[in-house]
Structure 1
Amino acid sequence: MSLSDLMLSFKGYSLSNTLGEGSYGKVKCAYCDQLKCNVAIKIINKRKAPQEFLERFLPREIQALRRLHHPSIIKTHEIFETSAGKVYIVMELGVKGDLLHYINTTGAMEEDIAHIKFQQLASAIKYCHDSDFAHRDLKCENILLDEDLNIKLSDFGFSKSLSRDEDGRTILSQTFCGSAAYTSPEVLEGIPYDPKISDIWSLGVILYTVVYALMPFDDSNVRKMISIQKQHRIPFPNSKHLSAECKDLIYHLLQPNASQRLSAEFTCASTTFWIQ
C-alpha cells in the first residue's frame, strides 16, 4: 500500500476503481466510512502539473468548489493536500456516469424529460452567474447524473470568478477554454468575451445534443463551423418532433451575436414557457 493509500485509509476512505485519468491527475471511486457511501476522489499530483495549472487553474477550481453549493452542482465533501504534493478533492459520486455516456447508451431524451434536466442545468448556471462565477467548460462530459438521473454539474477546472470594472461591467476574458464543439463563435475567433454569455452558447449545444443525440455543428473544420454558426443556421432534423418552444429556446441560446444571446436568468425563465 502506498503512502497516499495509507493516508486515505487513515481518513476513512477505501479506494477502488479508477473513473478517469489525465496526465497529472486521476479520479478514483472510494467508500467513505463517515458518509457510509461511495464518493469520487480527484487526486492531483502537483509535481507533475505545469506551473500555469498550479498558479491559475487549480486555485480557481478549489475556490469554486468551496464557494458553490447548489442541488444541481456536484457536492464537494472535503479538500486536502499532503506533504508529498498531492491534492485530494472528495466529491459526490455521479453514480450513473456522465450525460454524454448516457445519451450514447440510451439515445436522445424525450422532450418532457429533457425539459426537466435542462431546468436543473440552467438553474445551476444561473446560480453560478449570480455568484459571479462562469464555468467556461460546459459540455455533456462535465455533467454527471446521480442515482435518479438528476443533473450534477462538475469539473470547474476552467471556471473563473468574474471581476467588474468601475462601471460595474464584467471584465472580459481572453483565454480559450473548453471544447471547440461546445464553444461560442466569439471565443473561437479569439475576440475578448463575457464568460457568462459564452456559457449560454454551450447550454444551447448541450440542449440540442440531449434532444437529438447529435451535435448541432460539425467541428471537424472549425473555420467552416464558425461561418455556419454566424449565419445562425441551426439544423432541426425532421426525424424527431420537437415543440416550437423547444426549438425557439435552442435558436435563442445559439445566437451568434453575443449581445443578443439570452442571459442565464432569461434562459431559466424561458424554460417555464417550454410546454409540449
Structure 2
Amino acid sequence: MSAGVAGGKLVPPPAAFAPAGRERRASKSEAPVITPSPKKPASVHSDKGESSHKFNLKDLLASGPKLNRKSSQRSTSSKKSDSDAGDGRGKSVAGESTASLTQKYGVCQKIAIGKGATSVVRLAHKWDRTEEKLYAIKEFRKRRKNESEKEYVKKLTAEFCISSTLHHPNIVETVDLVQDEAQHWCEVMEFCPGGDLYAAIKKGGMSPSEVECCFKQILNGVSYLHSQGVAHRDIKPENLFFDTKGHLKIGDYGASTVYRLPWEATVHMSTGLCGSEPYIAPEQFLGKPYDARLVDIWAIGIVYYCLHFQELPWRAAQPSSDPLYSSYAQACANPNPTVSSCPPTINNLNPRACRSLIRKMLEPDPRHRYTIEDVIAHPWIQGIDVCHETTNAKHVHVSARAMGMAYLGNGA
C-alpha cells in the first residue's frame, strides 16, 4: 500500500503517466513518439560544488544565530488530528537539543514509506500520554567520498532553512533537523496520511469538483510560497500530499530557491536544471537564467492536465526531441489566433472556462506566461470551492480518505 510522506517518492512506484492520447500522436513523417519508462520520472538537479573546506554540520547549527522556529500543532499528525493548528506553540531548535531522534519523536519504522535520490523517509510513532503522534522522518544520505563537508552541509541545510520558515495550510510543516542514533541527519516533518496526489490520480475516479479543489489548493500553496520569496521548482503530483481533512500540501523543498529576500525588491534569476523532466518548463532546457516563479506556474499547468486526463501531455518540453511538445509549441506560435489561443493539446480540457487559463500557464514564452497573481485572479479560479473552506462541500477526497483510514483507523 502506498503511503503519504513529505519529501519522498512512494515505493514501490506505480507505472508512470503515459504521454497524451492518440489524437495527439505524431504522424509518420515526424520523429517517433517517446515511450515513457515504467518508473516515475526522476527528478534532476544541477548543483555546482564549492571548494573543499573543513566544515561540520553540528558546529554550524550550534554556533552563530540558531535556526529557530515555532512549531504549530499542525506539524504533529495524530489519530485525533493530523492538520489542526492550535494556539499552543512549542519551539524546535535544530541541532541544539542533545536528545536523540527517538527520544524526541519516537521509534521509526524499519521499512521506508518513501525513497528519493538523496534520502529515505520513514514513519515515526511517538506516544504522548494517551495520544499517538506520527511524524515523517527524512533521513539524508551520508556524505559522499568526492563531496566536501561544506558541500554536504549546504545541501542538507538549504532545504531545512527554507521549509522550516513556511507555515500555511497547503504547505507540509517542517518540525526539526536532528541526528538519529546512527549519526544520520534527519528532517522531521508533518506526516500526511492521505497519500500523495500521484497515487490519487493513478487510482482514478476523481470528480470534477475534487479535481478543481486540488488545483486551487496547489495554487494557494504556491501563492503563499511566492509571497515569501520562495519558488519550489519541483511541483509534481509526487510532491503534493493529503491529510485526512481535505488539505492538499506541497512538500519536498530540495530543489527550492529563494528568489527574493524580504528586504529586497529585485527578483534574482535562477540557473540549473531542476525538477522532473515532464514538468520542467521549456526555458530551463536552454541553459540560461530564468524566473523560477514562472517555472512553478508551468509545472502546475502540467499537473492540471494530469488531473484531467490521467496522463502527461508530453515527455519533455523540448521541440527538438519531443514531437508532441513540438506540435504544441508550433500551435501556440501560429499566427491564426483561433489556433494559438487554444491548441489541440488543451482544447478538450474541462470545464471550458479553464482552457484560456491553462493556455496562459502553459505559454512556451515565459515573458507572456501568467504569474501566480494572474492565475488566482482568473474568474474560473475565483469560482472554485475548496472543500475544507465550505460548510457543505460538494465532494470528498476519496483516495486520501481511504488511505488515511488505513493509517489512522476510524478516528481519522
| TM over 0.5, shorter chain | yes
Distance 2:181 2:105 in 1: 19
Give the TM-score, by structure 2 length.
0.59
2:112 equivalent to 1:18: yes
Contact 1:97 1:145 in 2 (8 A): yes
Distance 1:180 1:60 in 2: 22
**SS in structure 1 at match of 2:321:** helix
Which residue of 226, 230, 233 maps to 2:329? 230
Q: CA deviation at 1:59?
A: 2.3
What amino acid sits opposite 2:354 in the alignment? C
* Cross-structure match for 1:30: 124
Change (3 A) 1:158 1:24: closer
Which residue of 16, 24, 45 maps to 2:141? 45
2:367 equivalent to 1:259: yes
Change (3 A) 1:95 1:149: same
Q: Once the two structures are aligned, what percentage of the paired residues are identical? A: 28
Give the TM-score, by structure 1 length.
0.85
Contact 1:46 1:85 in 2 (8 A): no
Q: Taking CA–CA contacts closer than 8 Å with sequence separation of 6 or more, which of the two structures ends up with the larger relative contact order?
A: 2
Change (3 A) 1:182 1:260: same
Structure 1 unaligned spans of 5+: 1-5
Contact 1:94 1:146 in 2 (8 A): yes
Distance 1:257 1:63 in 2: 32
Contact 2:100 2:178 in 1 (8 A): no
2:245 equivalent to 1:245: no
Contact 2:233 2:292 in 1 (8 A): yes
The count of residues paired between Structure 1 and Structure 2 equals 266
Change (3 A) 1:53 1:263: farther
**RMSD of aligned residue pairs (Cα, Å):** 2.8
Q: CA deviation at 1:14?
A: 1.7
Residue by residue over 1:107-154, the C-alpha shift from the partner in whole angstroms, topping out at 9 and shown as x without a partner, is: 4x3322111111111011011111100101111111111123421100
Range with greater deviation from structure 2 (176-185 or 22-31): 22-31
Q: CA deviation at 1:221?
A: 7.4
What amino acid sits opposite 2:311 in the alignment? L
Distance 1:273 1:256 in 2: 27
Structure with the larger helix share: 1
Range with greater deviation from structure 2 (40-49 or 174-183): 40-49
Query: Equivalent residues in 2 for 1:101-116 (5 A)?
Result: 101-107=199-205, 109-116=206-213
**SS in structure 2 at match of 1:67:** coil
Contact 1:134 1:199 in 2 (8 A): yes
